[in-house]
Amino acid sequence: MGLKTLRYALPALLVIAGFVILFSAGDSLRWEGWAMCVGAGLAILLLNVLYRYGASGDRERTAEDEAREYFSKHGHWPDED
């Protein structure tokens, strides 16, 4: 629950806060506040996406190592008959 909140809800809240600032703040703060909040929200979301993409490579590498161990013990790949 907490990880999903950090992963998706926090960036969404920052983007929403940026649009609230855009429509409610004074002229001197409007665009800077919008850019700050939306940029921070999108940066957090991008970091989460990149981390998950990198972590998927670790799972693939682990599966390949397990398949190679199976091959060395049994003489054929796990998905072969």
Residue 2 has pLDDT above 90, yes or no: no
Query: For residue 11, what are the domain limits?
Result: 2-74
What local confidence, expressed as pLDDT, does residue 15 receive? 95
Is 24 among the domain residues?
Answer: yes
Is 6 among the domain residues?
Answer: yes
Is 61 among the domain residues?
Answer: yes
Helices 10-24/30-74 angle, 10° precision: 170
Is 79 among the domain residues?
Answer: no
Is 81 among the domain residues?
Answer: no
What local confidence, expressed as pLDDT, does residue 19 receive? 95
Q: Quick one: pLDDT band at residue 14, thresholds 50, 70, 90?
A: very high
Question: 7 CB contacts (<8 Å, ≥6 apart)?
Answer: 48
Number of structural domains the chain divides into: 1
Of the ranges 12-16, 17-21, 36-40, 61-65, which one carries the lowest mean pLDDT score?
61-65
End-to-end alpha carbon distance in the chain: 41
Is 17 among the domain residues?
Answer: yes
Is 45 among the domain residues?
Answer: yes
Q: Is the pTM of this model over 0.75?
A: no
Is 23 among the domain residues?
Answer: yes
Give tens-digit pLDDT for 16-29: 999 999 999 888 88
